[in-house]
Chain A
Amino acid sequence: MGKEDDGLESRRTVFVTVGTTRFDSLVRAVDTQEVKEELYKNGYTHLLIQMGRGSYVPAKSTGENGSLVVDYFTFSSSIADYLRSASLVISHAGSGSIFETLRLQKPLIVVVNEDLMDNHQSELAEELAERKHLFCARPQTLYQTIANMDLGLLIPYQPGDATPVAEFINSFLGFPR
């Protein structure tokens, strides 16, 4: 799956996105030493975190002496460019980010926010993980997921098609085909 280099041959970025709100336990999880080391061991060089409205601020790093380059920002009007230049995406479970990443055929780990009241979000992530389109993790199991993941097992997601729904509505309303 999409292994895109950013002009620089050796640059492999992990992009983390929490979406429009906050997800401190995800930011805290990717900021742990064990996750960063595991990512580095897997050949990633940069870690870029979109942290939203969260209050936990990760530690920046310039990546000297064999470690990840770590940087963060709060929001961006469009995360599409960040997704495009990433080699691995770690995302919250919102359907917007999930499908935007899958459409770009990027390897994706979805981390389910267990603090949310109405936790129907895990349904989509778990279903897509079962169909091998992505990996699904919790903040506290992210480290194991990264350590055990085999990107070769992922199956590219075939984007859906709204035409059948539109045709159904059309014919229900008596419009000719």
Chain B
Amino acid sequence: MENINNSRLSIAPSNSAFLLIIGLITLILIRVFYVINQSSQPRSSTSKQKPLSTLIVLGSGGHTAEMINLLNVLPKNRFKPRYYIAAATDNMSLQKAQVLENSLLNEGGVDEVRSAQFMQIYRSREVGQSYITSVGTTLIALAHALWLMIKIRPHVILCNGPGTCIPLCVIAFIFKVFGIRWSYIFYVESIARVRRLSLSALLLYKLRMADQLFVQWPQLKSKYPRAHYVGRLM
């Protein structure tokens, strides 16, 4: 009898810890599915008039040009303050964003002052870097992305590739799951992608991390039905 009792006693704590972990995982999974489901729904109509802080991830070259075209027609008074992030190796993109913001300053006057901030982010892997050293740089890049996201906590994220935006979107999604910040994530696939999604877009599409994903060619829309085709940015 004693023996049986003893073994029961020793099993009980590990059993409850096991149940606790299972319970937690279940809760998180339920929350993840809830977040994914909610993300595909339009924003409800509360506090509509308040502007939303917006994170704009600039890719480089052609990606940045497309993003600037989108920003040009977006009502800036609804999307502010605006935080621009570009890769640390990309000097041109933030300059282009600055030109855009300066032109707004000239149009809007004092009202528009300080509605934009510009930041750079480490890239996880530079072209040609070895895979062994890239483990370290990836960790640094992730920590940096987390730091930036904690500081910004944007309501809206606009991105259009390439990979720079992925850590930021993943962190934003985790923030949504844990109730730190609900952000609306929009991804516009590059116009250069006609027949197949880029790896970044495919990740966000398959994992359902982007609230809405836009493609610029009808062929892609028929291949990825949850994507939206509403014309080209260029």
A residues adjacent to B (C-beta < 8 A): 20, 94-96, 99, 120-121, 123-124, 126-127, 159-166, 168-176
Does B226 belong to the interface (CB within 8 Å)? Answer: no
How many Å from the CB of A28 to the closest CB on chain B?
Answer: 23
B112 to chain A, nearest CB (A): 18
Contacts of A176 in B (CB 8 A): 48
Question: Which of B44, B75, B228, B231 lies in contact with A160, CB distance below 8 A?
Answer: B231
> Which of B195, B216, B217 has the largest number of chain A CB atoms within 10 A?
B195
A3 smallest CB distance to B (angstroms): 24
The answer to whether A173 touches B43, judged by C-beta atoms less than 8 angstroms apart, is yes
Q: Would A96 and B231 count as touching, CB distance under 8 A?
A: no
Q: Are B75 and A175 touching (Cβ within 8 A)? A: yes
B74: nearest chain-A partner, CB-CB: A166
Whether the Cβ atoms of B44 and A169 lie closer than 8 Å is no
Contact indicator per residue, chain B 160-189, by CB within 8 Å of chain A (1) or not (0): 000000000000000000000000101010
Determine if A165 and B70 form an interchain contact, defined as CB atoms under 8 angstroms apart: yes
Report the minimal beta-carbon distance from A31 to chain B, rounded to whole angstroms: 26
- Residues of chain A lying within 8 A (CB to CB) of residue B44: 174
Least distance between B42 CB and chain A CB atoms (Å)? 5
CB atoms of B75 and A123 under 8 A apart: no
B230 at the interface (CB under 8 A from A): yes
Q: For residue A161, which residues in chain B have a CB less than 8 angstroms away from its CB?
A: 73, 231-232
Q: How far is the CA of A89 from the CA of B59 in the complex (A)?
A: 26
At the interface, yes or no: B192 with Cβ under 8 Å from chain A? yes
A-B contacts, 28 of them at CB < 8 A, read: A20-B61, A94-B61, A95-B61, A95-B62, A95-B66, A95-B190, A96-B65, A99-B62, A120-B196, A123-B193, A123-B194, A124-B191, A127-B194, A160-B69, A160-B216, A162-B72, A162-B73, A164-B230, A164-B231, A165-B70, A165-B214, A165-B233, A166-B73, A168-B230, A169-B74, A169-B212, A172-B42, A173-B78
Query: Is B45 among interface residues, defined by CB-CB distance under 8 A?
Result: yes
**CA A159 to CA B234, docked complex, whole Å:** 6
Given the complex of chains A and B, what is the CA–CA distance between A20 and B93 in angstroms? Answer: 14
Q: When the two chains form their complex, are residues A174 and B195 in contact, meaning their CB atoms are under 8 A apart?
A: no
For B212, list chain A residues within 8 Å (CB).
168-169, 172
User: Cα distance A59–B61 when bound, in Å?
Assistant: 30
In angstroms, Cα B234 to Cα A164, docked, is: 13
Chain B contacts for A175, CB-based, 8 A: 48, 75, 78
Partner of A99, one of B48, B188, B231, B234: B234
- CA separation between A94 and B216, bound complex, in Å? 16
Chain B neighbourhood of A162, CB < 8 A: 69-70, 72-73, 231, 233
Cα-based distance from A161 to B52 in the complex (angstroms): 24
Interface membership of B156, Cβ < 8 A:
yes
Asked if A160 contacts B184 (CB within 8 A), the reply is: no
Could you tell me the distance in whole angstroms from the C-beta of B132 to the nearest C-beta in chain A? 20
Contact B75 A170 (CB under 8 A): yes
